[in-house]
């Protein structure tokens, strides 16, 4: 390792090192910078454009700043926001989305909790396999699974075909493109997001607590309600947040299995942007949605940080 | 409170810890520690959890930086040096062996950081393996070794670079009791064979007293006493140390006789005063504590002679431990005094039983007067 | 939770019905991909015809190729940035802006993609106006979007692995004279390699499957597979999609089961060797 060439390279590297930012700054700076640029900064643009007006141009909105002689004009168009609050379509869509998201969260909890609990209490060797089975659908394409439901619920789909064949019904049930289908597929899609945090929480529960409760005369159901349930609170909240927040803005499911009437806000945003080409309106809808969701997001973030801090200390 | 440490013979201390303080926010973990260590000394920092000993050790290793104060090793101020630039090596409590490397690679790691020639590295690793008697296991991975074997590898790894200072963090904490006693002596032998200055941190009294030439008792971030194991045990300088090391009987009282060559302490819980056969720095009437070790308390059925240093009571409890028994004697004042009596004491007579009346007594220089 | 006794009947019922619910559509999808007839209501015999059609469909193949390319590139970058971010959150002490940093890493995971997609698009449009770059939306913009999204997930995986890792290993390395950069590559990285692998897989899956954000960020000529599927499915049922779906399920199932098996096997080996010590 004594070649002069290597020495020269080493010397150049040393010189370069002193001019590069310190290692630590780089490691923080790269991801931080990326997120600032591509995640945070875009929101400013959304805000800016939400105050703009539609125009036949490319891009299809009017600039906010304009200059006439020595006067710099900033035109903030509040029309988009006014429209959102005046036109019942938007309010209905927001409320509808929240409602659907809440119902989805509830059913995911009702279905997911027993499953997570059962897996957590299974023997360690079984647990792995069961978890894998639950997570496998999650890894397969989301789109394909929604499509699969379309096939099942369709008027000529499997469910109707079977029921007709069995003679349970005479006419095919109108299952697809209903509020029911949206809710069903939402629950189906978001179920793994509820099961996983619930499971991680429940699996850390000390089984001996339940043994102690039984020893003290507590029947299983009561033990569950007074011991297990409160202790799994964190998992429930985490799962609920992980389902609710993205569910509000869901687009694909209402688009593929929903009705044209019952709009969800994600679909409204898409339509405003792609169909109406009304970027400012879409931006305004986005801002309102953000305002709606920012509080739950911060709440979730705080909880995650606290949980991690607690875990790190042990 | 800072202590002027009793230095070993050598004139210049090898390691100096000067007024070191470490604060974590509001909490002060280390509160002004002064300590000097001589070359090749084995020193133990003893204290219960939370006393600051681990923090002090980590500051020596470089994992933490003191809030104030200095650390000087062999004339070099290492206070602010990062760990990888200090001539100090540490053996971790969990051993921290790199799981993805073999025993050989683990020991060689430190030497490779110094960019030593390959042959030199190999030679030194081989020598280290021989020292800790792990040459057969050179190619094994840590998870294939038992706890004791892992410890030896950890020791070899921390000695490989011939550090100026070796730090041991609870060296025997992870071993089970039987292995511990054997390992204590082995460890000391290996350290002395290599000839390295060593500071160990432990909460186990036996470990500290057996392995170290000097012990420092720490509590709440401060060093209370630094002395040889014998001195710490026989001549504790404060109540905390007296109670922390081994067992003792403590009585509170006042100095009633204060002479140059003897003092007498009147304790409310004892019938007669306590006579101590040497002078103390103190004044007449000063409130003091008297510490008498259980093994110094003798039992007899007949009243001892003299107007001091004995009392009378009933046997309240007996803890039979085979070679010796600990008698709990309740005195007239209600206070219970513990006496540790060897089984051989009862060769000529039967041992006292529960409820029996006995006399307790101790010699003139058995009691230690504590002013703190 | 440890419970050596077998599961209660309620547990078995809920798991059984839950799993049935989760797998019913998938099973039906697979079955009908082999249906010779185009209609779902009629089974006219076993056929691989739709698979043939699928492989001959150039649009599908092109879209798949593009999706694969983007997924590989996006996962690679996500792993790099995500590992850095995970390291920062798990190992670096507090610094100004750390909570914002952590927040920016949680948010993309839950924020609806319509929001993130639209906002990033508007950024690119403005950038194009001011700098002339990026001139056109396409692979680059899709890649940027995917990296931003996937990075958050990778960070979570890496971070939790780092947090549970024994820190004294890194301290021991420092004590033995290794500098921080070296410690990362020689000690930390080998030990978090499984986490990096699962982070990569997670990012890959997310990127391959992403629709909404991609729709906002793609341009002419850059149609990903989900986009293609979506446009076709909107028009109605299509057995070719059944075939595609079945293949996806098959590939994923094989990979997941294989990964699981390897992990279990490794753990068994370790336990055996440790017990022999």
User: What digits encode the pLDDT tens for the residues B225-236?
Assistant: 999 999 999 999
Chains with ≥3 CB–CB distances under 8 Å to A? C
Contacts of residue C174 in chain B, CB cutoff 8 Å?
62-63, 82-84
CB C159 within 8 A of CB C84: no
pLDDT mean over B329-352: 92
Contacts of residue C226 in chain A, CB cutoff 8 Å?
141, 143
Contacts of residue B93 in chain C, CB cutoff 8 Å?
168
Do the strands B165-169 and B197-202 form a parallel or antiparallel pair, or are they unpaired?
parallel
Q: Which of C172, C178, C179 sits opposite B96 (nearest CB)?
A: C172
CB A300 within 8 A of CB C106: yes
Q: What is the pLDDT of residues B74-125, one digit of tens each?
A: 999 999 999 999 999 999 999 999 999 999 999 999 999 999 999 999 999 9
B113 and C273 in contact by Cβ < 8 A? Answer: no
Least Cα separation, residue C62 to chain A (angstroms): 18
Cβ–Cβ contact C171 with B under 8 A? yes
Start-end of H helices in chain C: 9-33, 49-56, 58-91, 98-110, 113-131, 139-164, 167-175, 180-183, 189-209, 212-217, 225-233, 239-276
Selected residues 180-219 of chain C with any CB under 8 Å from a CB in chain B: 182, 187, 190-191
Has residue A24 got a pLDDT over 80?
yes
Q: What is the pLDDT of residues B24-62, one digit of tens each?
A: 989 999 999 999 999 999 999 999 988 999 999 999 999
CB C217 within 8 A of CB C134: no
A132 and C257 in contact by Cβ < 8 A? Answer: yes
C125 and A59 in contact by Cβ < 8 A? Answer: yes
C88 and A312 in contact by Cβ < 8 A? Answer: no
Q: Which residues contact C253 (CB under 8 A, 6 or more apart)?
A: A136, A140
Query: What sign results for the dihedral spanned by CA atoms B136, B138, B141, B147?
Result: positive
Q: Which of A152, A300, A304 sits opposite C28 (nearest CB)?
A: A152
> Which 8-state DSSP code applies to residue A2?
-
Selected residues 231-270 of chain C with any CB under 8 Å from a CB in chain B: 270
What is the longest distance spanned by two Cα atoms in chain C?
Answer: 73
Cβ–Cβ contact C56 with B under 8 A? no
Q: Which residues contact C78 (CB under 8 A, 6 or more apart)?
A: C146, C147, C150, C151, C153, C154, C199, C200, C203, C207
Selected residues 126-165 of chain C with any CB under 8 Å from a CB in chain B: none
Least Cα separation, residue C201 to chain B (angstroms): 23
Q: What is the pLDDT of residues C176-222, one digit of tens each?
A: 999 999 999 999 999 999 899 989 999 999 999 999 999 999 988 88
Look-up: residue for tokens 């805000």?
Answer: A47
> Which 8-state DSSP code applies to residue A144?
H
CB C246 within 8 A of CB C29: yes
What's the token pair of residue A107?
A: 């059913």
Q: How many CA atoms lie within 13 A of A54 on its CB side?
A: 12
Chains with ≥3 CB–CB distances under 8 Å to C? A, B
> What is the helix (H) or strand (E) element at residue B252, kind and residue range?
strand B249-258
Nearest residue of chain B to residue C167 (CA atoms): B96
Look-up: residue for tokens 């209402």?
Answer: A254
3-state DSSP assignment of residue A54: strand
C-alpha to C-alpha distance for B16 and C121, rounded to whole angstroms: 63
Could you give the dihedral angle defined by the CA atoms of residues A224, A230, A234 and A238, in that order, rounded to the nearest 10 degrees?
Answer: 60
Contacts of residue C187 in chain B, CB cutoff 8 Å?
98
Q: What pLDDT was estimated at residue B86?
A: 93
Give the lowest-confidence range in A309-313, B155-159, C257-261.
Answer: A309-313
Q: Which of C175, C179, C274 sits opposite B90 (nearest CB)?
A: C175
Has residue B304 got a pLDDT over 80?
yes
CA angle at B229 for the pair B228 and B235, rounded to the nearest 5°: 85
Nearest residue of chain A to residue C244 (CA atoms): A144
Which domains are seen in chain B, by residue range? 13-240 (3.40.50.300), 247-370 (2.40.50.140)
* Predicted-complex ipTM score: 0.88
Q: Which residues contact A128 (CB under 8 A, 6 or more apart)?
A: C260, C264
Q: Which of C87, C114, C241 sits opposite A266 (nearest CB)?
A: C114
A283 and C264 in contact by Cβ < 8 A? Answer: no
Helices C58-91 and C49-56: angle between axes, nearest 10 degrees? 80
What is the longest distance spanned by two Cα atoms in chain A?
Answer: 90
Q: What pLDDT was estimated at residue B358?
A: 94
Look-up: residue for tokens 């670079």?
Answer: B161
Helices A233-248 and C98-110: angle between axes, nearest 10 degrees? 70
B84 and C171 in contact by Cβ < 8 A? Answer: no
Number of Cβ pairs closer than 8 Å across B and C? 71
CB A268 within 8 A of CB A285: yes
Contacts of residue A312 in chain C, CB cutoff 8 Å?
90, 163
Cβ–Cβ contact C80 with B under 8 A? no
Least Cα separation, residue C190 to chain B (angstroms): 8
Cβ–Cβ contact C178 with B under 8 A? yes
C-alpha to C-alpha distance for B242 and B233, rounded to whole angstroms: 7
A148 and C106 in contact by Cβ < 8 A? Answer: no
pLDDT mean over A289-298: 92
Helices A179-203 and C9-33: angle between axes, nearest 10 degrees? 130
Find which of A51, A139, A282 to mutate to test the C interface (most C CBs within 10 Å of its CB).
A139
Number of Cβ pairs closer than 8 Å across A and C? 274
Q: What is the pLDDT of residues A103-151, one digit of tens each?
A: 999 999 999 999 999 999 888 888 888 988 988 888 888 899 999 998 8
Q: Which of B96, B144, B149 sits opposite C273 (nearest CB)?
A: B144
Class of residue A91 by CB neighbours under 10 A (exposed 0-12, middle 13-18, buried 19+): middle
pLDDT mean over B128-134: 94
Cβ–Cβ contact B143 with C under 8 A? yes
Tens-level pLDDT at each residue, chain C (277 residues): 444 455 678 888 888 999 999 999 999 888 888 887 777 667 777 888 888 888 888 999 999 999 999 999 999 999 999 999 999 999 888 888 888 999 999 899 999 999 999 999 999 998 988 888 777 888 999 999 999 999 999 999 999 899 888 899 999 999 999 999 999 999 999 999 989 998 999 999 999 999 999 999 998 888 999 999 999 988 877 888 889 989 988 888 888 888 888 888 888 887 887 776 6
Contacts of residue B94 in chain C, CB cutoff 8 Å?
166, 168
């Amino acid at each position: 390792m004594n070649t002069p060439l290597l020495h020269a390279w080493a010397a150049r590297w040393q010189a370069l090192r002193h001019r590069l930012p310190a290692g630590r700054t780089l490691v923080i700076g790269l991801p931080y910078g990326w997120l600032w640029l591509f995640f945070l900064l875009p929101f400013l643009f959304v805000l800016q454009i939400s105050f703009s007006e539609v125009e036949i141009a490319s891009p299809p909105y009017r600039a906010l700043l304009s200059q006439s002689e020595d006067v710099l004009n900033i035109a903030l168009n509040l029309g988009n926001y006014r429209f959102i609050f005046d036109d019942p379509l938007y309010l209905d869509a927001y409320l509808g989305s929240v409602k659907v998201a809440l119902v989805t969260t509830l059913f995911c909890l009702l279905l997911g909790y027993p499953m997570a609990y059962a897996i957590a209490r299974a023997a360690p060797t079984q647990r792995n396999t069961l978890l894998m089975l639950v997570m496998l659908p999650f890894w397969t394409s989301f789109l394909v699974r929604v499509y699969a439901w379309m096939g099942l619920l369709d008027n000529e789909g499997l469910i109707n075909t079977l029921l007709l064949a069995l003679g349970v019904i005479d006419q095919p049930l109108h299952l697809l493109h209903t509020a029911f289908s949206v809710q069903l597929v939402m629950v189906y899609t978001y179920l793994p997001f509820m099961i996983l945090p619930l499971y991680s929480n429940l699996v850390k529960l000390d089984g001996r607590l339940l043994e102690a409760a039984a020893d003290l005369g507590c029947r299983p159901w009561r033990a569950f309600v007074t011991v297990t349930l409160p202790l799994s609170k964190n998992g429930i909240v985490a799962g609920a947040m992980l389902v609710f927040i993205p569910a509000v803005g869901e687009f694909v499911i209402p688009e593929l299995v929903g009705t044209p009437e019952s709009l969800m806000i994600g679909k409204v945003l898409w339509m405003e942007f792609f169909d109406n080409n009304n970027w400012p309106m879409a931006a305004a809808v986005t801002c309102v949605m953000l305002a709606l969701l920012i509080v739950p997001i911060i709440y979730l973030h705080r909880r995650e940080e606290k949980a991690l801090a607690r875990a790190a200390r042990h | 409170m800072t202590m002027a440490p009793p230095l070993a013979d050598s004139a210049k201390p090898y390691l100096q810890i000067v007024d070191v303080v470490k604060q974590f926010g509001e909490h002060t973990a280390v509160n002004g520690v002064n300590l000097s260590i001589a070359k090749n000394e084995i020193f133990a920092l003893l204290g219960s959890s939370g006393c600051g000993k681990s923090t002090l050790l980590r500051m020596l290793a470089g994992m933490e930086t003191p809030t104030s104060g200095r650390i000087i090793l062999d004339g070099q101020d290492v206070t602010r040096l990062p760990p990888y630039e200090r001539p100090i090596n540490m053996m971790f409590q969990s051993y921290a062996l790199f799981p993805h490397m073999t025993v050989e690679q683990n020991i060689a790691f430190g030497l490779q950081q110094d960019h030593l020639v390959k042959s030199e590295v190999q030679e030194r690793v081989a020598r280290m393996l021989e020292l800790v008697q792990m040459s057969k296991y050179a190619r094994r991975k840590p998870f294939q070794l038992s706890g004791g074997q892992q410890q030896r590898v950890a020791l070899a790894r921390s000695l490989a670079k011939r550090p100026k200072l070796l730090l041991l963090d609870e060296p025997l904490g992870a071993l089970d009791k039987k292995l511990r006693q054997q390992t204590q002596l082995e460890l000391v032998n290996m350290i002395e064979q290599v000839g390295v200055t060593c500071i160990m941190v432990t909460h186990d009294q036996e470990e500290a007293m057996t392995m170290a030439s000097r012990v420092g008792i720490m509590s709440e971030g401060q060093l209370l006493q630094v002395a040889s194991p014998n001195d710490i045990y026989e001549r504790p300088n404060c109540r905390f140390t007296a109670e922390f090391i081994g067992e003792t009987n403590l009585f509170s009282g006042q100095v009633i006789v204060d002479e140059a060559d003897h003092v007498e302490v009147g304790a409310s819980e004892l019938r007669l005063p306590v006579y101590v056969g040497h002078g103390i720095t103190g004044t007449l009437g000063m409130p003091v504590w008297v510490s008498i070790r259980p093994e110094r308390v003798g039992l007899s059925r007949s009243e001892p002679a003299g107007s001091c240093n004995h009392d009378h009571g009933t046997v309240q409890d007996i803890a039979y431990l085979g070679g010796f028994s600990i008698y709990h004697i309740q005195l007239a004042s209600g206070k219970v005094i513990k006496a540790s009596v060897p089984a051989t004491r009862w060769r000529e007579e039967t041992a006292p039983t529960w409820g029996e009346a006995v006399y307790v007594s101790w010699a003139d220089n058995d009691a230690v007067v504590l002013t703190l | 939770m440890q419970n050596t006794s077998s599961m209660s009947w309620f547990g078995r019922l809920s798991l059984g019905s839950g799993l049935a619910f989760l797998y019913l559509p998938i099973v039906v999808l697979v079955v009908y991909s082999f249906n010779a007839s185009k209609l779902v209501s009629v089974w006219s015999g076993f056929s691989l015809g739709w698979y043939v059609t699928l492989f001959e469909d150039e649009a599908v193949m092109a879209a798949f190729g593009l999706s694969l390319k983007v997924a590989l590139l996006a996962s690679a970058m996500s792993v790099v940035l995500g590992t850095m971010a995970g390291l920062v959150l798990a190992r670096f002490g507090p610094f100004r802006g750390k909570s914002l940093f952590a927040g920016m890493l949680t948010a993309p995971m839950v924020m609806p993609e319509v929001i993130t997609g639209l906002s990033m698009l508007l950024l690119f449009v403005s950038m194009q106006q001011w700098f002339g770059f990026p001139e056109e939306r396409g692979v680059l913009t899709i890649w940027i979007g995917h990296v931003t999204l996937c990075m958050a997930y990778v960070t979570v995986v890496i971070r939790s692995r780092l947090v549970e890792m024994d820190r004294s290993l890194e301290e021991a390395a420092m004590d033995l004279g290794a500098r921080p950069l070296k410690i990362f590559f020689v000690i930390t990285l080998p030990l978090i390699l499984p986490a990096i692998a699962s982070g990569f897989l997670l990012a890959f899956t997310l990127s391959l499957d992403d629709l909404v954000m991609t729709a906002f960020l793609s341009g002419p000529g850059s149609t990903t597979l989900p986009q293609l599927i979506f446009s076709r499915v909107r028009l109605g049922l299509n057995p070719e999609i059944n075939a595609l779906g079945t293949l996806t399920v098959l590939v994923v199932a094989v990979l997941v089961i294989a990964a699981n098996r390897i992990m279990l096997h490794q753990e068994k080996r370790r336990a055996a060797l440790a017990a022999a010590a």
